């Protein structure tokens, strides 16, 4: 059987870096094993899901370099879920319940007052056919619960029943079904909650491994029980830790915080985002990986931390900076085209300034400094003024090249006796207007003789 994974976002917002962590764990795992990657939109919540969000999520994944082998939408597969629900009903494993949200809330409060866990007592199972008919006549519509297999012969006397599995991330896991309420699979309006469609799809699509956030661990206990009730083989499971903000708050699709769309707009490189999404909370250093293949070699699900990992924006900046620092010209050429750099100077310009850019778009600022007009009128000390005149006089002949800076400053040093900062700083300030920036050896040929002469005050 082909190894098959799926990433199953509900399209109720754009995905954030925490969702990307799930997508990449699945994608890299499948790539490594030569498997298939399914993108499945869990869009059974018709009110909150939109096609625009789904398309946006596909764009976000494409930006990172994830190309699904196939895309499914749960909204187009409802008849399969209905058929599965009918099978469960026929086995007496899916039963109608009529309590309102308020009634359930009161039940929970009563249990809490007696110091008992808020587990549903299966009261609806006791309803006779007539009582159910009466409730329906009153206008109540049932929601449907799955009868968890946590009892011997009497469903009103639950017993400890452990569902166990060996988690790809967390090792041996078990969930006691007696500690849980029978899960609602179908709402009173007839719509499906996430639980059953996910199982039906995983079964029908041949999903062999489900890798998702550890907020689903308890769900997995329930879902394995439902897989078994439907006669389906449950896939393997892996639950990775979640990402939080630095304050420890969970990330949310709805708030749009740290969405891939925003990070992209802010100018982050996809591989900086991907590297952090995967490597944070995993043993080993967090470094920018050049491509997804390199990142794949770092994937080790068993080395993922079991407590939440904090997303640190400063870390993302560092990765972006380190990555930009290594980007060859070809990787950024389309993004520099609008700068109108002089022909033939595009590549040397990029190679000169990239170490001083955290974002590729900062190259625009350096282009202005190299090729534009600098604000004049700096107040030089008399000593520096004399020094700059000397500098002007010592400029090497001919067009500048990569050795010109060294030749120039060696001559100046010999002539003026200045060295170190006293030698370089006035030149940097005169040539760029700044006290920091890219190596002047690289910039000088780009600034060229004419601008250099003018900036030295000649
Ligand atoms: N739509 C579910 C979610 O976003 C998918 C969970 C799963 O991978 O099974 O939480």
Find out whether 371 and 443 touch, Cβ atoms under 8 Å: no
Residues 6+ apart with CB under 8 A from 130: none
**Nearest-5° angle of CA 125, CA 126, CA 132?**
80
pLDDT at 34: 96
Find out whether 281 and 298 touch, Cβ atoms under 8 Å: no
Domain end, chosen from 167, 188, 215, is at 167
Q: For 400-416, what is each residue's pLDDT tens digit?
A: 999 999 999 999 999 99
pLDDT at 75: 95
Over range 227-237, report the average pLDDT.
97
Q: For 188-226, what is each residue's pLDDT tens digit?
A: 999 999 999 999 999 999 999 999 999 999 999 999 999
Residue 150 lies in a domain: yes
Name which of 85, 254, 250 is nearest 183 in CA terms: 85
Pocket test for ligand 1, best of 37, 212, 227, 235 (most atoms within 8 A of CB): 212
* Exposure of 320 in the CB half-sphere (CA atoms within 13 A): 20
For the annotated binding site for ATP, the residues are 253
pLDDT at 377: 74
Ligand 1 proximal residues by C-beta, below 6 Å: 8-10, 42, 194, 198, 210, 212, 216
What are the DSSP calls for 136-165, one per residue?
HHTT---EEEE--S--SS-TTS----EEEE
Residue 111 lies in a domain: yes
Nearest residue (by CA) to ligand 1, atom 4, is 9
Residue 8 lies in a domain: no
Alpha-carbon distance of 297 to 319, in angstroms, equals 18
Nearest residue (by CA) to ligand 1, atom 3, is 9
Looking at the structure, tell me whether residues 364 and 387 fall in a common domain: no
Alpha-carbon distance of 440 to 425, in angstroms, equals 11
Pairing of strands 70-73, 36-41: parallel
Is 80 exceeded by the pLDDT of residue 130?
A: yes
pLDDT at 340: 95
Alpha-carbon distance of 253 to 53, in angstroms, equals 10
Residue 163 lies in a domain: yes
Domain end, chosen from 371, 395, 423, is at 371
Ligand 1 atom closest to Cα of 215?
Answer: 10
Residue 360 lies in a domain: yes
Q: For 55-95, what is each residue's pLDDT tens digit?
A: 999 999 999 999 999 999 999 999 999 999 999 999 999 99
CA of 277 to the centre of ligand 1 (A): 18
Residue 357 lies in a domain: yes
* Mean predicted lDDT score pLDDT of the chain: 95
Domain that holds residue 439: 382-455
Question: From start to end of 179-332, where are the E strands?
Answer: 184-186, 209-213, 236-240, 243-244, 309-310
Looking at the structure, tell me whether residues 387 and 361 fall in a common domain: no
> Could you report how far apart the first and last alpha carbons of the chain are, in Å?
76
Looking at the structure, tell me whether residues 347 and 393 fall in a common domain: no
Find out whether 25 and 243 touch, Cβ atoms under 8 Å: no
Sign of the Cα pseudo-torsion (100, 102, 108, 114, in order)? negative
CA of 23 to the centre of ligand 1 (A): 11
Q: For 259-283, what is each residue's pLDDT tens digit?
A: 999 999 999 999 999 999 999 999 8
For residue 254, what pLDDT band results from cuts at 50, 70 and 90? Answer: confident
For residue 376, what pLDDT band results from cuts at 50, 70 and 90? Answer: confident
Ligand 1 atom closest to Cα of 202?
Answer: 9
Dihedral angle computed from the Cα positions of residues 148, 149, 151 and 155, in that order, rounded to the nearest 10 degrees: 50
CA of 19 to the centre of ligand 1 (A): 10
Residues 6+ apart with CB under 8 A from 402: 441, 442, 445
Is 90 exceeded by the pLDDT of residue 375?
A: no
Looking at the structure, tell me whether residues 96 and 135 fall in a common domain: yes
Write the CATH number for 146: 3.90.800.10
Q: For 149-188, what is each residue's pLDDT tens digit?
A: 999 999 999 999 999 999 999 999 999 999 999 999 999 9
How many independent structural domains does the chain possess?
3
pLDDT at 452: 96
Find out whether 266 and 63 touch, Cβ atoms under 8 Å: no
Looking at the structure, tell me whether residues 348 and 402 fall in a common domain: no
Over range 273-300, report the average pLDDT.
95
Looking at the structure, tell me whether residues 363 and 396 fall in a common domain: no
For the annotated binding site, the residues are 253
Alpha-carbon distance of 104 to 425, in angstroms, equals 74
Alpha-carbon distance of 17 to 83, in angstroms, equals 36
For residue 458, what pLDDT band results from cuts at 50, 70 and 90? Answer: low
CA of 385 to the centre of ligand 1 (A): 68
SS3 state at 13: coil
Taking CA atoms, 217 is separated from 65, 119, 276, in Å, by 28, 18, 24
Looking at the structure, tell me whether residues 362 and 404 fall in a common domain: no
pLDDT at 389: 95
pLDDT above 90 coverage of the chain, percent: 94
CA of 195 to the centre of ligand 1 (A): 9
SS3 state at 237: strand
Looking at the structure, tell me whether residues 162 and 89 fall in a common domain: yes
Ligand 1 atom closest to Cα of 42?
Answer: 1
Find out whether 245 and 205 touch, Cβ atoms under 8 Å: no
Tally Cβ neighbours within 10 Å of residue 271: 21
Residue 451 lies in a domain: yes
Residue 419 lies in a domain: yes
Write the CATH number for 443: 1.10.10.350
Over range 287-295, report the average pLDDT.
96
Domain end, chosen from 167, 189, 210, is at 167
Pocket test for ligand 1, best of 4, 5, 8 (most atoms within 8 A of CB): 8
Over range 419-430, report the average pLDDT.
96
CA of 6 to the centre of ligand 1 (A): 10
Q: For 333-362, what is each residue's pLDDT tens digit?
A: 999 999 999 999 999 999 999 999 999 999
Looking at the structure, tell me whether residues 340 and 402 fall in a common domain: no
Q: For 33-44, what is each residue's pLDDT tens digit?
A: 999 999 999 999
pLDDT at 150: 98
């Amino acid at each position: 059987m082909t190894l098959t994974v799926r990433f199953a976002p509900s399209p109720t917002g754009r995905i954030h870096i925490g969702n990307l962590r799930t997508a990449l764990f699945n994608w890299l795992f499948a790539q490594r094993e030569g498997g298939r990657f399914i993108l499945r939109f869990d869009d059974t919540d018709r009110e909150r899901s939109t096609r625009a969000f789904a398309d946006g999520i596909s764009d976000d994944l494409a930006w990172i370099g994830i190309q699904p082998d196939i895309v499914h939408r749960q909204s187009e597969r409802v008849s399969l879920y209905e058929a599965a629900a009918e099978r469960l009903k026929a086995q007496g494993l899916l039963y109608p319940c009529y309590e309102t949200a308020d009634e359930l809330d009161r039940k929970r409060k009563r249990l809490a007052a007696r110091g008992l866990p808020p587990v549903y007592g299966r009261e609806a199972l006791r309803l006779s056919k007539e009582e159910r008919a009466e409730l329906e006549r009153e206008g109540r519509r049932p929601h449907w619960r799955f009868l968890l297999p946590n009892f011997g012969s009497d469903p009103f006397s639950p017993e400890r029943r452990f569902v166990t599995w060996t988690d790809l991330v967390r090792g041996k896991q078990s969930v006691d079904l007696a500690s849980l309420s029978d899960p609602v699979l179908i709402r009173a309006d007839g719509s499906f909650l996430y639980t059953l469609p996910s199982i039906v799809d995983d079964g029908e699509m041949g999903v062999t491994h489900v890798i998702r956030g550890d907020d689903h661990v308890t769900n997995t206990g329930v879902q394995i029980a439902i897989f078994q009730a439907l006669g389906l083989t449950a896939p393997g499971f892996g639950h990775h830790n979640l990402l939080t903000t630095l304050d420890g708050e969970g990330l949310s699709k709805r708030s749009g915080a740290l969405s891939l769309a925003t990070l992209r707009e802010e100018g982050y490189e996809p591989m900086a985002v991907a590297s952090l999404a995967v490597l944070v909370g995993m043993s080993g250093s967090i470094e920018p990986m050049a491509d997804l293949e390199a990142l794949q070699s770092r994937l080790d699900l068993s080395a993922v931390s079991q407590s939440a990992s904090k997303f640190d924006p400063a870390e993302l900046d560092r990765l972006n900076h380190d990555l930009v620092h290594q980007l060859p010209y070809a990787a950024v050429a389309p993004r520099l085209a609008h700068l109108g750099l002089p022909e033939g100077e595009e590549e040397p310009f990029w190679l000169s300034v990239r170490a001083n850019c955290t974002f590729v778009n900062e190259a625009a600022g350096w282009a202005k400094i190299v090729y534009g007009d600098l604000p004049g009128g700096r107040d030089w000390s008399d000593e520096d003024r004399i020094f700059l005149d000397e500098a002007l006089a010592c400029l090497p002949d001919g067009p500048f090249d990569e050795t010109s800076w060294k030749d120039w400053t060696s001559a100046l040093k010999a002539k003026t006796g200045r060295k170190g900062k006293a030698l370089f700083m006035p030149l940097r300030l005169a040539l760029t207007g700044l006290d920091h920036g890219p190596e002047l050896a690289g910039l000088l040929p780009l600034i060229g003789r004419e601008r250099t002469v003018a900036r030295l005050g000649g």
